Amino acid sequence: MTQDSAEARSREPALTFTRRARRVQIIDVTIELLSDHGYSGVSLSQIADRAGVTKPTVLYHFTDKSNLVSSVYRHVLDAVVESVGGAVETAEVEERPAAYVRSLVAHFVRYPSHARVSIEALIHGGERAESSAQWKPVADLLAAARKSRGATDEVELRTAALIIGGAIDAVVAEAVEDPKFDAVAASEEIVELIEARYLAG
C-alpha cells in the first residue's frame, strides 16, 4: 500500500511550495475533525472553515470528500511507516518483533488521532489492503528473529502474525476509547507473549 501511495503521488502534478503547504494544512485539519467527529460528522465546508480557506480550495486539492479521506489515510499511513520502520530498522534482528509492537503502539498513543482516522478511513474511505499486507511483514520479522536466535520448534507464522496484529489492534482501540488505559504496559504483555510463544525454543 505504501508503494501504491507513492506511485499515486508521483502521478500528481508538481505543486508549488505554497500549494503543498496548503494541501498539508487541509490534511492536518481533516485529521483533527475526523478524529473528533467521525466521517459522517464532518463536511467539506467545516474543513474549509477550520483551515481558513474556501470550499473550492479544498476541492481544488481533493476532488471530493472520499478522495480527501483517502489522502488523509495515506498521510497517516506514511507517518506510521516512517515511525515504526525507523524503530524496527535500528533494532537488532532478534529484537525487531518487539520493536515493531512497542513502536506501533507508542505511535498511536502519541497520536491518537491517527488511530481514529485509520478506523474512519477503513470504514468510509475504502482503504482496505489485502490480508497478506497486514500479516506478512510481521511474519517476516518473526521468521528472521527466530532464525537469528536459532529457534527450531515449529510455529505457524501466519497465525502468529494474525494473533499479534489482533492484539495490537485491540490495545490501540482500547487506548482510543479510554485514554487512561495503559497501552504501553499492554504492549509489553504482547512482547512477553511473542518472546514466550514464538521466539523461544
76-97 b/e with 16+ CB inside 10 Å = b?
bbeebeebbeebbeebeebbbb
Q: Give the model's pLDDT for residue 46.
A: 96
Rounded CA-CA distance 37/60 in Å is 24
What was the pLDDT predicted at 123? 74
| Contact partners, residue 199, CB within 8 Å, separation at least 6 | 94, 97, 142, 145, 146, 149, 151
Q: What are phi and psi of 117, to 5 degrees?
A: -65, -40
For all residues of the chain together, what is the average pLDDT?
Answer: 89
* Helices 2-11 + 65-90 axis angle, to 10: 130
Q: Which of 127, 113, 112 is nearest to 5 (CA)?
A: 127
| pLDDT of 20 | 87
Residues in the chain, pLDDT under 70: 1-15, 125-129
Question: What type of residue sits at position 27?
Answer: I
Could you tell me the domains of the chain? Answer: 2-199 (1.10.357.10)
Query: Do the Cβ atoms of 105 and 183 come closer than 8 Å?
Result: yes
pTM of the model: 0.83
